[in-house]
Amino acid sequence: MRRHFRLQGLPGPSALAIGNFDGFHAGHRRVLRLLAAQARRRRLEAAVLTFHPHPRVFLGQDVRLIQTDAQRLEILSLQELDHLFFIDFAAVAGIPAADFVSGVLLAALRARLLVVGSDFRFGRGREGDLAFLRRAVAGRCAVVAAPDAVVDGRRVASSLIRRLLALGQVREASRLLGRPYCIDGIVVRGAGRGTELGFPTMNIDSANDILPGGVFRTELELRAFPGRRLPSATFIGRAPAFTDPARPLRVETHVPGFRASVYGRRVRLHFIAKIREEKRFAGAAELTAQIRRDLDALGD
């Protein structure tokens, strides 16, 4: 696969999928499976066009994304593609829909097949939709709308997954994603209260937008050892015990039996299930008893 970080012409005709792919959920995978199959059948280069930052972020809208741009680039780079265009949205934000079709899709990217989602919108002010696209490329390029993915009777959409994660419903969100929700971060020094209680924690500084509150059953992956996951319990909240509830949001993870120093290391947390909501405690003894119950839940 060749990765491109600016728009440039392709040497041959392409089958092209366009989208934001936030979360890269079951619906997105369906789009790219269809793209790969059609590209092979028609002997076209398989390409994806996506943007950073997310267009809604670029336009100043209040949206909390499932993935960071780095996570999205990582997972898209693992797909069955010949070309991945990961383009600054500012480069195309002001292009009218008709010019985007003629200048970008047909001329530069030489699209002969377009695969998009049913709710696809494009062009300045989101003026173009699926019907507009079909009219604009008629006779020059085929357009395929990938069928929606449905899980547990619900249409899979990034907006739905965001809502579930904001509510802490990580198991339900992961079913729609097709894999556990994960956040990335760097281990930083904390106050050391976990160690004092006998349950040392890793304090994780994460750039992810969605940090669901509560205590969770998680799996910790050291990015230096990808694929190796350690069972862990993770707290996300303002006050890990009985201190000031106005404290900044914290992400603290305890890995039973793990004692190595990993300050400054990059880690990934995979969320498996929620154990409980955040709560305050009357003292250290009450907190310690609750932590033991939380760790017992790791085996559930």
Closest CA to 295 of 276, 270, 268, 269: 276
Q: What is the mean pLDDT of residues 216-225?
A: 92
Sign of CA dihedral 254, 223, 57, 75: negative
Beta strands in 175-244 (DSSP E): 181-188, 202-206, 214-222, 229-237
Q: Is 182 in contact with 269 (CB distance < 8 Å)? A: yes
Percentages (nearest 5) of helix, strand, coil residues in the chain: 30, 30, 40
Please state the separation of Cα 123 from the chain's center in Å: 24
Higher pLDDT, 50 or 193: 50
Q: What pTM, to 2 d.p., does this model score?
A: 0.91
Instruction: State the pLDDT at residue 198.
Output: 57
Residue 274 has pLDDT above 90, yes or no: yes
Per-residue pLDDT at 261: 85
CA dihedral 166, 168, 171, 177 (to 10 degrees): 20
For residues 275 and 288, what is the distance between their CA atoms, to the nearest angstrom?
16
Highest mean pLDDT among 39-53, 114-128, 269-283: 39-53
- Mean pLDDT confidence for 230-242: 80
Residues paired with residue 269 on neighbouring β-strands, in sequence order: 183, 220
Q: In the predicted model, is pLDDT for residue 31 greater than 70?
A: yes
pLDDT of residue 196: 56
Determine which of 111-125, 238-252, 270-284 has the lowest per-residue pLDDT on average.
Answer: 238-252
Domains of the chain by start residue, with CATH: 2-151 (3.40.50.620), 181-299 (2.40.30.30)
Between residues 287 and 177, the one the model is more confident about: 177
Mean pLDDT in residue range 208-228:
92
- At 300, the pLDDT band (50, 70, 90 cuts) reads low
Distance, CA of 13 to CA of 137 (rounded, Å) = 14
pLDDT > 90: percent of the chain: 76
Judged against a pLDDT cut of 60, whether residue 240 lies above it is answered with no
pLDDT over 70 percentage in the chain: 93
- Residue type, position 143, single letter: V
pLDDT band at 57, cuts 50/70/90? very high
Nearest to 242 by CA among 279, 278, 281: 281
Asked whether 197 and 284 are in contact (CB, 8 A), the reply is yes
Mean pLDDT of 158-164: 97
Give the model's pLDDT for residue 195: 56
Measured CA to CA, the distance from residue 87 to residue 59 in angstroms comes to 16
| Most confident stretch, 153-167, 189-203, 269-283 | 153-167
pLDDT band with cut points at 50, 70 and 90 for residue 227: confident
Does residue 73 have a pLDDT over 80?
Answer: yes
Q: Is-contact 20 55, C-beta < 8 A?
A: yes
pLDDT digits (tens, 9 = 90+) for 187-216: 998 766 665 565 788 999 999 999 999 999
Mean pLDDT of the chain: 91
Give me the pLDDT at residue 173, please.
97
pLDDT confidence of residue 245: 55
Burial class of 62 by CB neighbour count within 10 A (0 to 12, 13 to 18, 19+): exposed
Band (pLDDT 50/70/90 cuts) for residue 119 is confident
Amino acid found at 293: R
